[in-house]
Amino acid sequence: MPVVASESVHKEADSGAMGNDATKLTSARAAAAEAGITAPTIENWQRKGWLPAPPWTKHQITMAQRRSRQRPGEGSTAPHGTPARYRAGCPCTPCREAENAANRGLTYRRGMAHWAELGPALLDSLASGVSYQDALAAHGVTQQALTRHRHRDPDFATRLDEALMIGRDPTLPHGTNMGWKARCRCPECRAFHQSYDTQTAD
Protein backbone atom coordinates (compact mmCIF):
# COMPACT_ATOMS: atom_id res chain seq x y z
CA MET A 1 0.00 0.00 0.00
CA PRO A 2 2.64 2.65 0.91
CA VAL A 3 4.69 1.53 -2.11
CA VAL A 4 1.82 2.20 -4.49
CA ALA A 5 1.22 5.63 -2.94
CA SER A 6 4.83 6.72 -3.24
CA GLU A 7 5.01 5.42 -6.81
CA SER A 8 2.09 7.48 -7.90
CA VAL A 9 3.56 10.59 -6.26
CA HIS A 10 6.84 9.89 -8.03
CA LYS A 11 5.17 9.60 -11.42
CA GLU A 12 3.32 12.85 -10.93
CA ALA A 13 6.52 14.69 -9.97
CA ASP A 14 8.30 13.22 -12.98
CA SER A 15 5.69 14.15 -15.50
CA GLY A 16 5.45 17.61 -13.94
CA ALA A 17 9.17 18.22 -14.30
CA MET A 18 9.18 16.91 -17.85
CA GLY A 19 6.27 19.09 -18.78
CA ASN A 20 8.13 22.11 -17.44
CA ASP A 21 11.41 21.41 -19.11
CA ALA A 22 9.75 20.57 -22.41
CA THR A 23 8.39 24.11 -22.61
CA LYS A 24 10.69 25.80 -25.09
CA LEU A 25 11.21 29.51 -24.86
CA THR A 26 11.77 30.60 -28.43
CA SER A 27 12.36 34.35 -28.00
CA ALA A 28 14.20 36.66 -25.65
CA ARG A 29 10.85 38.21 -24.79
CA ALA A 30 9.32 34.90 -23.80
CA ALA A 31 12.40 33.97 -21.77
CA ALA A 32 12.43 37.40 -20.11
CA ALA A 33 8.78 37.05 -19.14
CA GLU A 34 9.51 33.62 -17.71
CA ALA A 35 12.44 34.88 -15.57
CA GLY A 36 10.77 38.16 -14.61
CA ILE A 37 13.48 40.29 -16.22
CA THR A 38 13.87 42.36 -19.39
CA ALA A 39 14.58 41.02 -22.88
CA PRO A 40 17.89 42.96 -23.23
CA THR A 41 19.16 41.08 -20.17
CA ILE A 42 18.47 37.78 -21.93
CA GLU A 43 20.32 39.06 -24.99
CA ASN A 44 23.18 40.16 -22.76
CA TRP A 45 23.41 36.67 -21.26
CA GLN A 46 23.58 35.29 -24.78
CA ARG A 47 26.44 37.64 -25.66
CA LYS A 48 28.31 36.51 -22.55
CA GLY A 49 27.89 32.94 -23.70
CA TRP A 50 25.71 32.03 -20.74
CA LEU A 51 22.93 31.00 -23.12
CA PRO A 52 23.13 29.23 -26.49
CA ALA A 53 20.93 30.23 -29.42
CA PRO A 54 17.18 29.88 -28.74
CA PRO A 55 15.00 28.00 -28.08
CA TRP A 56 15.87 27.64 -24.39
CA THR A 57 14.49 25.45 -21.66
CA LYS A 58 13.41 27.01 -18.37
CA HIS A 59 16.35 25.26 -16.79
CA GLN A 60 18.83 27.06 -19.03
CA ILE A 61 17.28 30.40 -18.15
CA THR A 62 17.41 29.55 -14.44
CA MET A 63 21.09 28.62 -14.67
CA ALA A 64 21.96 31.84 -16.52
CA GLN A 65 20.04 33.83 -13.93
CA ARG A 66 21.92 32.10 -11.12
CA ARG A 67 25.16 33.00 -12.82
CA SER A 68 24.16 36.64 -13.14
CA ARG A 69 23.48 36.77 -9.41
CA GLN A 70 27.01 35.59 -8.69
CA ARG A 71 28.48 38.60 -10.45
CA PRO A 72 29.39 40.77 -7.42
CA GLY A 73 33.02 40.24 -6.52
CA GLU A 74 33.52 38.39 -9.78
CA GLY A 75 36.99 39.89 -10.25
CA SER A 76 38.21 37.92 -7.28
CA THR A 77 39.12 34.26 -7.59
CA ALA A 78 38.84 33.84 -3.81
CA PRO A 79 35.96 31.56 -2.81
CA HIS A 80 32.83 32.90 -1.09
CA GLY A 81 33.04 33.08 2.67
CA THR A 82 36.47 34.76 2.61
CA PRO A 83 37.48 38.35 3.49
CA ALA A 84 39.28 38.58 0.11
CA ARG A 85 36.04 37.96 -1.77
CA TYR A 86 34.22 40.44 0.47
CA ARG A 87 36.82 43.13 -0.27
CA ALA A 88 36.42 42.38 -3.98
CA GLY A 89 32.85 43.60 -3.56
CA CYS A 90 30.82 40.49 -2.75
CA PRO A 91 28.00 41.37 -0.33
CA CYS A 92 26.82 37.78 0.27
CA THR A 93 26.28 36.65 3.87
CA PRO A 94 29.19 34.15 4.09
CA CYS A 95 31.56 36.82 2.73
CA ARG A 96 30.30 39.45 5.16
CA GLU A 97 30.58 37.05 8.08
CA ALA A 98 34.13 36.12 7.09
CA GLU A 99 35.08 39.79 6.96
CA ASN A 100 33.54 40.45 10.39
CA ALA A 101 35.31 37.46 11.90
CA ALA A 102 38.62 38.66 10.46
CA ASN A 103 38.08 42.10 11.98
CA ARG A 104 37.24 40.61 15.35
CA GLY A 105 40.49 38.64 15.12
CA LEU A 106 42.38 41.82 14.33
CA THR A 107 40.90 43.67 17.30
CA TYR A 108 41.82 40.73 19.49
CA ARG A 109 45.41 40.62 18.24
CA ARG A 110 45.79 44.38 18.66
CA GLY A 111 44.41 44.14 22.19
CA MET A 112 46.80 41.34 23.05
CA ALA A 113 49.79 43.21 21.57
CA HIS A 114 48.83 46.33 23.52
CA TRP A 115 48.62 44.38 26.76
CA ALA A 116 51.84 42.52 26.11
CA GLU A 117 53.58 45.90 26.48
CA LEU A 118 51.38 47.45 29.10
CA GLY A 119 50.63 44.44 31.31
CA PRO A 120 54.06 43.80 32.90
CA ALA A 121 54.52 47.49 33.83
CA LEU A 122 51.06 47.64 35.37
CA LEU A 123 51.62 44.45 37.33
CA ASP A 124 54.98 45.78 38.56
CA SER A 125 53.29 48.92 39.87
CA LEU A 126 50.60 46.92 41.64
CA ALA A 127 53.11 44.50 43.16
CA SER A 128 55.22 47.39 44.42
CA GLY A 129 52.27 48.70 46.43
CA VAL A 130 50.84 51.43 44.20
CA SER A 131 47.07 51.47 44.79
CA TYR A 132 44.77 49.95 42.20
CA GLN A 133 43.28 53.29 41.15
CA ASP A 134 46.63 55.06 40.99
CA ALA A 135 48.26 52.25 39.01
CA LEU A 136 45.43 52.24 36.46
CA ALA A 137 45.57 56.03 36.12
CA ALA A 138 49.35 56.01 35.79
CA HIS A 139 49.22 53.47 32.96
CA GLY A 140 46.19 54.99 31.24
CA VAL A 141 43.98 51.94 31.73
CA THR A 142 40.28 52.05 32.50
CA GLN A 143 38.72 49.56 34.89
CA GLN A 144 36.55 48.24 32.05
CA ALA A 145 39.58 47.63 29.82
CA LEU A 146 41.34 45.81 32.65
CA THR A 147 38.30 43.65 33.34
CA ARG A 148 37.95 42.86 29.64
CA HIS A 149 41.57 41.79 29.40
CA ARG A 150 41.31 39.72 32.57
CA HIS A 151 38.50 37.71 30.97
CA ARG A 152 40.31 37.43 27.67
CA ASP A 153 43.60 36.25 29.12
CA PRO A 154 43.32 33.87 32.10
CA ASP A 155 47.10 33.82 32.51
CA PHE A 156 47.11 37.59 32.91
CA ALA A 157 44.24 37.31 35.39
CA THR A 158 46.34 34.98 37.54
CA ARG A 159 49.36 37.27 37.41
CA LEU A 160 47.18 40.28 38.21
CA ASP A 161 45.84 38.59 41.31
CA GLU A 162 49.35 37.64 42.37
CA ALA A 163 50.52 41.24 41.95
CA LEU A 164 47.54 42.52 43.92
CA MET A 165 48.27 40.07 46.75
CA ILE A 166 51.94 41.08 46.89
CA GLY A 167 51.29 44.82 46.73
CA ARG A 168 48.22 45.07 48.95
CA ASP A 169 48.30 47.14 52.13
CA PRO A 170 49.09 44.67 54.95
CA THR A 171 47.41 46.87 57.56
CA LEU A 172 43.94 46.48 55.98
CA PRO A 173 41.44 43.79 57.01
CA HIS A 174 41.17 42.07 53.60
CA GLY A 175 38.08 40.20 52.56
CA THR A 176 35.89 42.67 54.48
CA ASN A 177 33.79 45.68 53.60
CA MET A 178 36.46 47.83 55.21
CA GLY A 179 39.09 46.54 52.78
CA TRP A 180 36.80 47.17 49.81
CA LYS A 181 35.87 50.66 51.09
CA ALA A 182 39.58 51.42 51.44
CA ARG A 183 39.63 50.71 47.69
CA CYS A 184 41.63 47.52 47.91
CA ARG A 185 40.93 45.30 44.90
CA CYS A 186 42.88 42.24 45.96
CA PRO A 187 41.20 38.87 45.22
CA GLU A 188 39.91 38.60 48.81
CA CYS A 189 38.35 42.06 48.87
CA ARG A 190 36.86 41.47 45.42
CA ALA A 191 35.42 38.15 46.54
CA PHE A 192 33.89 39.82 49.58
CA HIS A 193 32.39 42.57 47.47
CA GLN A 194 30.92 40.11 44.97
CA SER A 195 29.23 38.04 47.67
CA TYR A 196 28.08 41.23 49.39
CA ASP A 197 26.53 42.39 46.09
CA THR A 198 24.74 39.07 45.67
CA GLN A 199 23.38 39.24 49.26
CA THR A 200 22.02 42.77 48.90
CA ALA A 201 20.58 42.02 45.47
CA ASP A 202 18.41 39.23 46.97
Whichever of 149 and 168 has its CB closer to Zn ion, that residue is 168
The answer to the question of residue 96 lying near Zn ion (CB under 5 A) is: no
Stretch that binds Zn ion, among 32-40, 77-85, 103-111, 129-137 (CB under 5 A): 77-85
The answer to the question of residue 80 lying near Zn ion (CB under 5 A) is: yes
Pick from 174, 178, 197, 200 the residue near Zn ion by CB under 5 A: 174
Whichever of 80 and 139 has its CB closer to Zn ion, that residue is 80
The answer to the question of residue 190 lying near Zn ion (CB under 5 A) is: no
Pick from 83, 119, 167, 179 the residue near Zn ion by CB under 5 A: 179
Give SS3 for 99.
Answer: helix
**Are 183 and 131 spatial neighbours (Cβ–Cβ below 8 Å)?**
yes
CA dist 89 and 57 (Å) reads 32
Give CA 172 to chain center in angstroms. 46
Q: Residue 39 burial (CB < 10 Å; 0-12/13-18/19+)?
A: middle
Query: Least Å distance between CB 37 and Zn ion?
Result: 22
The answer to the question of residue 61 lying near Zn ion (CB under 5 A) is: no
The answer to the question of residue 90 lying near Zn ion (CB under 5 A) is: yes
- Cα 107 to Cα 114, 128, 185: the distances in Å are 10, 31, 28
**Are 135 and 123 spatial neighbours (Cβ–Cβ below 8 Å)?**
no
**Are 22 and 15 spatial neighbours (Cβ–Cβ below 8 Å)?**
no
| Cα atoms found within 13 Å of the Cα of residue 86, Cβ hemisphere only | 15
Pick from 33, 63, 78, 92 the residue near Zn ion by CB under 5 A: 92
DSSP letters along 34-86, please?
Answer: HHTS-HHHHHHHHHTTSS-SSPB-HHHHHHHHHHHHT-TTTT--SPSSSHHHH
Stretch that binds Zn ion, among 11-19, 30-38, 122-130, 188-196 (CB under 5 A): 188-196
Pick from 65, 189, 192, 193 the residue near Zn ion by CB under 5 A: 189
Whichever of 31 and 85 has its CB closer to Zn ion, that residue is 85
The answer to the question of residue 193 lying near Zn ion (CB under 5 A) is: no
List interacting residues with Zn ion (CB under 5 A): 80, 85, 90, 92, 95, 168, 174, 179, 184, 186, 189
